[in-house]
Amino acid sequence: MAILSEILHEHCDAAADYATARIYVTHPDLQHRFGDKGKRSCRADIALHISFLTGALSSGNSKPFSEYICWLDSVLAARNVPSNSLGESLHWLANYFEHKLCPIDHATVLAIFNDASSALSTARVSTQIPAFMQCLPIPHQATSSLTDKLVAGNVRETHELLHQAYLDGAEYLDITTHLLQPSMYQVGHLWQQNRISVAQEHLATAIVQNELTQAFSIADFSPPNGKRALFACVEGNLHSIGICMVADSFELAGWEVQQLGANLPITALLAQISAWHPELVGLSISQAQHLETLRRTIAAIHGEFGEHRPQIMIGGLSTNALSEMWRTLKADSWSPSADLAQIETS
């Protein structure tokens, strides 16, 4: 599957060009309606399909791609994009790959597309929440209220709500896992439904980052345990709030922690592991398109350090749909939240 992922990556530009051209030939009115900007956006979306497709191949399961297609369908529907446009783009990609891949590889890609089409048909008539949200921690009763305050950009009321939770006995992990994490998932879902803007989502993120810092500053620390843990988002992943929560939880539990943030190149990660010698490395991804990078990152750690490598834990939104994916990727554990990450390493 890894080799096929590389082949698809090499074909990404040509495949996106082909599918976009076929769509615009089939629907000549699109050029008049949306101009060159619309055509560029169409091509970018199709190229993203291929990126997520390689992620599914890296995981050894079609589910990440199906989840992505269902998510994208809901995003497009909320923005009044015709429902057949997504299926049409997959059709032309399949047509391109039929002529460019060997029969076995084309059959593999077609099977993933067919699984996605079936999942999409089911999702359009189902009220079931997506698989990646089914393993969320139980939300605090104030989560919906917190979400309202975050999307309104109300810094003071957000802080007051979280401070009240602290006064009521909630500790750092309670606040991050049962309030902030589910609330940020709700914020993302509101953007998906086109009910809030990108600016509102970014503002909510900034408020949460500030609250995490304040909550961490008054949290209770366990005595040092003599162990080191290093955390980072893989290259390309720009969403670092989750890995920050996990890193903080380990530091509070007595670990010496380095949190390297978002979008860390593989070479930089390997160099820091070599220099610092952590017992544990935690890696985060937020989208299925990062799965191939995650696979390459884990393989690089195995290759560089062999039997002396640190333990590898993975997490992030796109890992939630496939809780056993860590075995396929040759990690040592997986966790959907900061509190369970502690259990996995205890």
* 130: confidence class by pLDDT, cuts 50, 70, 90: low
Kindly report the CATH number that applies to the domain delimited by 2-128: 1.10.490.20
Position 207 scores a pLDDT of 98
pLDDT tier at 132, thresholds 50, 70, 90? low
Whether residue 321 has pLDDT greater than 70:
no
- Fold adopted by 132-217: 1.10.1240
pLDDT of 126: 67
pLDDT digits (tens, 9 = 90+) for 61-91: 898 888 889 888 888 888 887 778 899 999 9
The pairing of strands 228-233 and 311-315 is unpaired
pLDDT at 222: 95
For 243-254, how does the pLDDT look when each residue is reduced to its tens digit (9 = 90+)? 999 999 999 999
Note the pLDDT of residue 5: 87
Cα gap 343→32, rounded to integer Å: 57
In the predicted structure, residue 129 carries a pLDDT above the cut 70: no
Quickly state the pLDDT bin for 138 (edges 50, 70, 90).
confident
**Cβ within 8 Å of residue 187, ≥6 positions away:** 147, 150, 151, 196, 200, 201, 204, 205
CA gyration radius for the chain?
Answer: 21
The per-residue pLDDT for 85 is 86
Q: Which residue has the higher pLDDT, 143 or 325?
A: 143
**The pLDDT of residue 127:** 63
CA distance 19 to 48: 12
Predicted pLDDT at 323: 63
Query: CA-CA distance, 261 to 242, in Å (whole number)?
Result: 10
Is it the case that residue 344 has pLDDT exceeding 80?
Answer: no
Q: Where are the domains of the chain?
A: 2-128, 132-217, 228-345
Rounded Cα gap, residues 133 and 65, in angstroms: 15
132-217 and 228-345 share one CATH topology?
Answer: no
In terms of average pLDDT, the best of 12-16, 133-137, 319-323 is: 12-16
Does the global pTM surpass 0.85?
no
Q: What is the mean pLDDT of residues 153-181?
A: 95
CATH topology of domain 228-345: Rossmann fold (3.40.50)
